[in-house]
Amino acid sequence: MTLSISKLGDRLGAAAEGVDMNALVPNDAERLRAALADNLVLCVRGQKLEPQAYFDAMGVFGKQLPQPSASANHPVVKDLLILSSEDRDVLGDGQRLVAGAAWHTDDSYRAVPCSLTTLYGVEVPATGGDTQFVNMYAAYDDLPDATKARIGALRVVHSYAPSRQLNKVAKRTAEDMATMPDVIHPLVRTHPVTGRKALYLNPNRMESVLGLERADSDALLDEMAAHATQPKYQYRHKWRQGDIVVWDNRCTMHKANADYPEGSRRYMLRVIVEGTVPV
């Protein structure tokens, strides 16, 4: 097979075809990493991997991390997280849970968020269930200079379940919550590899901007989120079975859509990659 890479969206997104992640050669590995760096979101098409093989293959993008939620972990490969149409809030009200239904970036409620997320579409619905992404480099670049100066030094409190929460998240045990105190991250983040600045937002995890009155904080966070999620910054991924999608949480946001027909099954496996403290 010969690896080919093509653009998917205008502002972000690329597809890689002609590669088998079960037997990746070094040159192809380097090209995949470069495509991800250039396009922020990379879809590797047509993969057939067992759970352990998928977890191992994702090491090409960095050091894989343990998953933060033991209740949804794969029964055999414990460091894989299962995201499924059958997910329920087991410790809460038992109702259906759609992980990531609001715009977010993974793990921002942690002091050291993951850098990358990879998601493997083992089973995907025939229609619906798309994942949307936005380019946070572009969203920052397009801000007026006065706005950049106003927000450049601001820092934001992130929480697992803030008062501003937009969509339901899984209830966690008291022991888990004790390991997840509120954290503070910059509103404008500098990517540790590229050196580029990006808005660092997570509307579903942000509580408040330090130093601002609550009304001003809410207004600013809402303004930045509305700006960053404009259609011109988006790519909407329509899943095919066997897709592996990798994205960079340091310069993107994403959201899941649960608009697939009743009775359709969506079953995905997730790996997260080690990151650094946002600066």
Query: What pLDDT was estimated at residue 161?
Result: 86
Whether the CB-CB separation of 268 and 122 falls below 8 Å is answered with yes
**CA-closest candidate to residue 93, choices 170, 178, 181:** 170
Q: Average pLDDT for residues 108-128, to the nearest whole number?
A: 95
Q: Average pLDDT for residues 178-187, to the nearest whole number?
A: 90
User: If you count them, how many residues does the chain have?
Assistant: 279
- Of the candidate ranges 110-124, 200-214, 238-252, 256-270, the one whose mean pLDDT is the lowest: 256-270
Confidence grade of residue 241 (pLDDT, cut at 50, 70, 90)? very high
Q: Quick check: is 54 in a domain?
A: yes
Query: What pLDDT was estimated at residue 71?
Result: 61
Query: What pLDDT was estimated at residue 89?
Result: 47
Do β-strands 14-17 and 41-44 pair in parallel, antiparallel, or remain unpaired?
parallel
**How many CB atoms neighbour CB 240 within 10 A?**
12
**CA-closest candidate to residue 103, choices 232, 10, 206:** 206
β-partners of residue 41 are 247
CATH assignment at residue 76: 3.60.130.10
pLDDT > 70? residue 97 = no
Residue written as token pair 């995949």: 32
Query: What pLDDT was estimated at residue 70?
Result: 59
**Chain segment 195-207, per-residue pLDDT in tens:** 999 999 999 999 9
**CA-closest candidate to residue 151, choices 209, 97, 99, 230:** 209
Query: What pLDDT was estimated at residue 88?
Result: 47
**Chain segment 56-90, per-residue pLDDT in tens:** 999 999 999 987 665 678 889 989 999 987 654 44
Q: Quick check: is 279 in a domain?
A: no
Query: Tokens in use for 192?
Result: 């540790």
pLDDT > 90? residue 144 = yes
Range of the domain at 46: 4-273
Q: Which is higher by pLDDT, 71 or 194?
A: 194
**DSSP reduced 3-state for 112:** coil
* % residues pLDDT > 90 (the chain): 77
**Chain segment 256-271, per-residue pLDDT in tens:** 998 888 778 889 999 9
Query: What pLDDT was estimated at residue 90?
Result: 45
Q: Give Cα separations from 195 to 116, 168, 242, 251 (angstroms).
A: 17, 34, 33, 11
Count the domains in the chain.
1
Query: What pLDDT was estimated at residue 1?
Result: 76
pLDDT > 80? residue 167 = no
Confidence grade of residue 178 (pLDDT, cut at 50, 70, 90)? confident
Q: Quick check: is 183 in a domain?
A: yes
DSSP state of 231: G
Q: Quick check: is 158 in a domain?
A: yes
Q: Find how far residue 140's CA is from the centre of its chain.
A: 18
Q: Quick check: is 278 in a domain?
A: no
Query: What pLDDT was estimated at residue 112?
Result: 97
Q: Average pLDDT for residues 33-48, to the nearest whole number?
A: 98
Q: Average pLDDT for residues 117-132, to the nearest whole number?
A: 95
Query: What pLDDT was estimated at residue 239?
Result: 97
Whether the CB-CB separation of 117 and 106 falls below 8 Å is answered with yes
